[in-house]
């Protein structure tokens, strides 16, 4: 499976080239175009494994219950993936490790990756992030997406990320809900409010922008909707 990311970081598309026999699993609705001989099957779980329980858990993480599997017949084929909103993608190669991913940021992965459920405790209720997370496990390639550009931060000690800006992080990191700077009052008056403080050693991938900040800017110009 070969991954090429096009037009980063604005409206990134992932071009995945598959050899016969290779399968790529993707979030439902992500396909934008593909070779004519690409087979697509839809399941509630990973091909040849997994259970309905996992699928139900995935729904709790804000993902769709269904996954699509792409497999070319006879000869190599290509498939392009996109996302709902504008934004960046990154491709990572996992080497028998765990990656905690913000639900909604998972786009596609190799067949060898297990997509599980990553509970991060009730603190996420306050973080401005979604409450549920995905846990990607195993060895192989994964593609993650975001609204905004994605930048990695190597944490060694402590680092602060504003709520709503986390895409993924290594399992070796732990985070807590905290304030920006020394004072709670200033953190709130400065508009930052509650932030996530990461501790340990590892990488956290952040998204530069946050759709929740952009949306309200549109409101004054949009046509009114019925309640």
Partner 1 sequence: MNSEQEDLHEVALKGHLSGKIRGSQAFSYVDIDLEPGESLTTETDAMSSMDADVDLTAAFNGGFFSGLARKFFGGESLFISRFTNNTDQSRRVTFVQPNPGEIRCKTLNDETLYLQPGAYLASSDGVKLGLSWAGFISFISREGLFRLKVSGTGDVFYGAYGALLEKEVDGEYIVDTSHLVAYEPGVSLKLQLAGGLFSSFFGGEGLVTRVEGQGKIVVQSRSISGLAGWLNPKF
Partner 2 sequence: MTTETCDIVLSGKLVNGADKDQVQQKLGTLFKTTEAKIAELFTRAPVAIKKSVDVSTAQKYQRAIEKAGAECVLKTQQPPVAKEQQEPSLSLVPMPEQQAEKVEPTGVQKPKKPGYDFEITGQPDYSFLTVQIPANETLKVEASAMATMDTNIEMKTKLKGGFGRFLTGESLFINDFTAANGPGEIGIAPGAPGDLLHQYLDGNTIYLQNSAYVASTADVTVESKWQGMVKGFFSGESLFLIRCSGKGDLWFNTYGAIIEIDVEDDYVVDTGNIVAFTEGLEYTIRKVGGYKSLFFSGEGLVCRFSGKGKVWIQTRSAAAFVSWAHWFRPVKRK
- C-alpha distances in Å from residue 111, one per residue of 24, 70, 102, 141, 170: 6, 10, 20, 9, 21
Can residue 227 be called a binding residue for partner 1 (CB under 8 A)? no
* Pairing, β 77-81 against β 38-43: unpaired
Q: Indicate which of partner 2, partner 1, none lies near residue 1 (CB less than 5 to 8 Å, by partner kind).
A: none
The verdict on 14 binding partner 1 (CB under 8 A) reads no
Q: Are strands 24-27 and 89-102 parallel, antiparallel or unpaired?
A: unpaired
Q: How far is CA 152 from CA 30, 46, 88, 208, in A?
A: 24, 28, 13, 10
Return the one option of partner 2, partner 1, none that residue 186 interacts with (CB less than 5 to 8 A, by type).
partner 1
Angle subtended at Cα 212 by Cα 64 and Cα 16, rounded to the nearest 5 degrees: 45
What's the CA gap between 76 and 72, in Å, rounded?
Answer: 6
- Distance separating alpha carbons of residues 36 and 115, to the nearest angstrom: 28
Identity of the residue, 35 or 170, whose beta carbon is nearer to partner 1 in the bound complex: 170
> Any contact of residue 87 with partner 1 (CB under 8 A)?
yes
Spatial separation of the C-alpha atoms in residues 90 and 142, rounded to whole Å: 8
Tell which positions 161-190 bind partner 1, by CB under 8 A.
161-162, 165, 170, 180-183, 185-190
Residue 86 contacts partner 1 per CB under 8 A? yes
Residue 48 engages partner 1 in binding (rule: CB under 8 A)? no
What's the min distance (Å) between Cβ of 17 and partner 1? 16
Q: Give me the least distance between CB of 166 and partner 1, in Å please.
A: 9
Per the CB < 8 A criterion, the answer to whether 108 and 27 are in contact is: yes
90 binds partner 1 (CB under 8 A): yes
Q: How far is the CB of 123 from partner 2 (least distance, A)?
A: 25
CA 112 to chain centre: 18
Positions touching partner 1 (CB under 8 A) are 8-11, 86-88, 90-95, 97, 99, 148-153, 157-162, 165, 170, 180-183, 185-192, 197, 203, 205-210, 213-214, 216-218, 221-223, 225
């Amino acid at each position: 499976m070969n991954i090429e990311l096009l037009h980063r970081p604005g409206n990134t598309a992932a071009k995945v080239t598959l050899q016969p026999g290779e399968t790529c699993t993707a979030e439902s609705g992500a396909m934008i175009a593909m070779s004519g001989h690409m087979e697509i099957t839809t399941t509630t779980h990973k091909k040849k494994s997994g259970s309905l329980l996992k699928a139900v858990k995935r729904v709790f993480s804000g993902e769709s219950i269904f996954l699509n599997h792409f497999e070319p017949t006879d000869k190599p084929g290509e498939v392009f993936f996109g996302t709902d909103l504008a934004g960046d993608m990154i491709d990572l190669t996992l080497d028998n490790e765990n990656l905690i991913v913000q639900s909604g940021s998972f786009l596609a992965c190799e067949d060898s990756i297990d997509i599980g459920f990553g509970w991060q405790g009730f603190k996420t209720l306050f973080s401005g992030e979604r409450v549920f997370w995905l846990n990607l496990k195993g060895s192989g390639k994964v593609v993650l997406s975001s609204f905004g550009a994605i930048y990695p931060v190597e944490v060694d000690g402590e680092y602060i990320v504003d709520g709503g800006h986390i895409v993924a992080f290594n399992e070796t990191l732990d985070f807590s809900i905290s304030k920006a700077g020394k004072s709670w009052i200033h953190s709130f008056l400065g508009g930052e409010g509650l932030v996530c403080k990461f501790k340990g050693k590892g990488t956290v991938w952040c998204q530069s922008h946050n759709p929740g900040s952009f949306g309200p800017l549109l409101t004054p110009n949009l046509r009114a909707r019925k309640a």
